[in-house]
Structure 1
Amino acid sequence: MMKFHIVISLLAVVVLAGCSTTSAPKSNGGSTLSKLTGGSKQAATTGVLAALGNGLIGNNPSLDASDRKRALQAEYQALEYSPAGKTVEWKNSSGSHSGEVVAAQPYQVGSQNCRQYTHTVRIDGTPQSARGTACRNEDGSWTPLT
């Protein structure tokens, strides 16, 4: 009878262990935030932003590579972290180019989270706005819908 109780107790421990959770997030080589902000994983930053392509700003010849990166980082920040309607701003070092991204409420398409968003870019004070939609990939990157 004692063996029966031990076996049942061990079985209960095994079953309950399968139901436990941890509060630590899954890691895939660095947090999404460190990927975005250029933490120690520069290649990962490129991967998360690369999924956005040229984003809503397109391949505007008035923006240099640094401006594009700031703009894409703002798009990613708005899509991944910002509450609906909150503005994420960016500005180049000279202040001649800037922008703001505003994402709407997330919604589900199948198993993916998607968001509509607006990106307004100011080049020498002249605003240009574009609207689009992007869906979140399993790796944390966002892909614009075309």
Structure 2
Amino acid sequence: MSGVAFSLALAGCTSTGLNTSLAPTALSQETKTVASGELIAALDGGLITRLTSKGIARGDKAIALQKEYLALEYTAPGEAVLWQGKAISGSIVPSQPYRVGSQDCRQYEHTVVEGGVESSAKGTACRNEGGSWSLLS
């Protein structure tokens, strides 16, 4: 194998996952729309539960948690992920990923509009081995 061919072969072996390169992975829109229940459960209510004083309808909370996960896992730093529930809407903006030991972490801000009132919370989540994210307190 020539040196050029070998170099080209190696170039195809790079990894683009967040856990290896600290960069969001581009996936098809269909893949990005739904995260499994296990991935969502690891967020332990996410920032959305800190933002809703009266509680939040289960369906709206599910939408918000899906979007929190997708923002952490796939979204470029500073890019907003918008969501709309029946009685509440919001946006999640993740910051640049960083590494702590062997774990990838990201700070992010979740802003909601509920009854015409806007509120926001900031938090940090770290990625677990199985691909889930855990919100730090």
With the length of structure 1 as denominator, give the TM-score of the two structures: 0.68
Alignment of 1:81-100 (within 5 A): 81-92=74-85, 94=86, 96-100=87-91
Which portions of structure 1, spanning 4 or more consecutive aligned residues, are displaced by more than 3 angstroms?
A: 33-36, 59-62
State the number of aligned residues. Answer: 113
Q: Residue 63 of structure 1 aligns with which residue?
A: 56
**Inter-partner Cα distance in structure 2 for 1:72 and 1:35:** 13
Other-structure match for 2:73: 80
Q: Aligned partners of 1:70, 1:58: CA distance in 2, in Å?
A: 12
Deviation at 1:37, TM superposition (A): 1.2
Q: Which moved more, 1:131-140 or 1:121-130?
A: 121-130
Kept after mapping to 1: 8 A contact 2:92/2:108? yes
Picking from 9, 30, 34, the partner of 1:37 is 34
C-alpha separation between the residues in 2 aligned to 1:124 and 1:97? 7
Gaps of 5+ in 1: 1-20, 24-30, 39-44
2:109–2:122 contact (8 Å) kept in structure 1: yes
SS in 2 for 1:63: coil
Residues of 2 paired with 1:80 and 1:123: CA distance? 25
CA contact (8 A) 1:67 1:97 kept: yes
Which has the larger Rg? 1
Q: Which has the higher contact order (CA 8 A, sep 6+)?
A: 2
Determine if contact 1:97/1:122 at 8 Å carries over to the other structure.
yes
Instruction: Quote how far apart the aligned CAs of 1:58 are.
Output: 1.5
Q: Which runs of 5+ in 2 are unaligned?
A: 1-11, 15-26
SS at match of 1:98: strand
Percent identity between matched residues is 46
Is the 8 Å Cα contact of residues 95 and 106 (structure 2) preserved in structure 1?
yes
